[in-house]
């Protein structure tokens, strides 16, 4: 895996990647289990694979 490849994103970065206007939507997706996230300290980190699967549901990658 190249060093430059991201493994996790902040909710703000995920919001921007998905083209959303409201960060609350990201937290709703996390709560519903549509995005996989882990809490690191006081902040969430969304896995890159979860974000990719959400953006490309037909890719078949789990």
Q: What are the domain boundaries of the chain?
A: 8-57
Q: How confident is the model at residue 62 (pLDDT cuts 50, 70, 90)?
A: low
User: In the predicted model, is pLDDT for residue 60 greater than 60?
Assistant: no
CB-based burial label for 59 (10 Å; 0-12, 13-18, 19+) = exposed
pTM of the predicted model, to two decimals? 0.80
Mean residue pLDDT across the chain: 88
Largest pairwise CA distance in the chain? 33
pLDDT confidence band for 31 (50 / 70 / 90): very high
pLDDT of residue 57: 84
Distances, alpha carbon 34 to alpha carbons 1, 2, 3, 5, 46, in Å: 25, 27, 27, 22, 11
């Amino acid at each position: 895996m190249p060093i430059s490849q991201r493994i996790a994103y902040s909710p703000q970065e995920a919001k921007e990647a998905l083209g959303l206007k409201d960060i609350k939507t990201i937290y709703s997706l996390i709560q519903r289990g549509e995005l996989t996230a882990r809490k690191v300290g006081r902040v969430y980190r969304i896995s890159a694979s979860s974000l990719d699967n959400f953006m490309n549901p037909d890719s078949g990658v789990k």
